[in-house]
Amino acid sequence: MGSEGPPAVTVHVTGFKKFHGVSENPTETIVSSLKEYMKKNSMPKGLILGSCTILETAGQGAVATLYQTLQSAISDKDSESSSSKRIIWLHFGVNSGAIRFAIEQQAVNEATFRCPDEMGWKPQKVPIIPADGEISRVRKTSLPVEDMTKTLVKKGYEVISSDDAGRFVCNYVYYHSLRFAEQNGTKSLFVHVPLFLTIDKETQMQFAASLLEEVWTRFW
């Protein structure tokens, strides 16, 4: 690339539909609005916003769509004449009891759903990927979560780093994504957001935009 600078980074984003007790999932709104929002606020050169996908709030239902998105991105990557294309998956999920954003450092190979998901599945202490062994198996993101969190705090956001993504659908999706990313030389990150009643939509959109820039910056 020489004087053209670093190769572009493509960020693919996912959110979730509504589910038990959450009639309006803020992540569906954030992800659906993100492309238009980023156009208005101008993305940095070299940051490409790829697919924006809304997943079912159901373990197996979400993963089916997730893998379609992951495989499609990898296929596009393989078809590029340049092998320098970089890919990040950025997943948003809601924590209805949260008062701030939480950037998740890891996922655990355990599905223990506190209530049935939107397809009626309620696993208890089941390994997400049986081939990975015990339910205590942990997969971590390769992105520098602590550094990213500090930068976003300095920008004025209420955000923390977290090492517990729960054991519900968010953790289920993150574990699959981290495993896929590790196998394919890409990166994955999951972020929990509060309800819009706690942090308003505009602030959450600003946070999502700042987070996109941060993951792009931290790729290197």
Q: Which helix (H) or strand (E) holds 40?
A: helix 26-41
* 161 burial level (CB within 10 Å; 0-12, 13-18, 19+): middle
> In this structure, are residues 26 and 17 in contact, taking their beta carbons and an 8 Å threshold?
no
Read off the pTM. Answer: 0.93
Give residue 75's pLDDT. 82
* pLDDT beyond 80 at 89: yes
Residues 6+ apart with CB under 8 A from 206: none
Beta strands in 23-169 (DSSP E): 47-55, 86-94, 101-104, 106-108, 138-140, 159-162
| Residue 34 phi, psi dihedral angles, 5° rounding | -65, -40
Distance CA 4, CA 97 (A): 45
- Give percent of the chain above pLDDT 70: 92
- Give percent of the chain above pLDDT 90: 81
pLDDT tens per residue, range 179-201: 999 999 999 999 999 999 999 99
Give residue 1's pLDDT. 40
* pLDDT beyond 70 at 103: yes
* pLDDT beyond 70 at 40: yes
**More confident site: 22 or 154:** 154
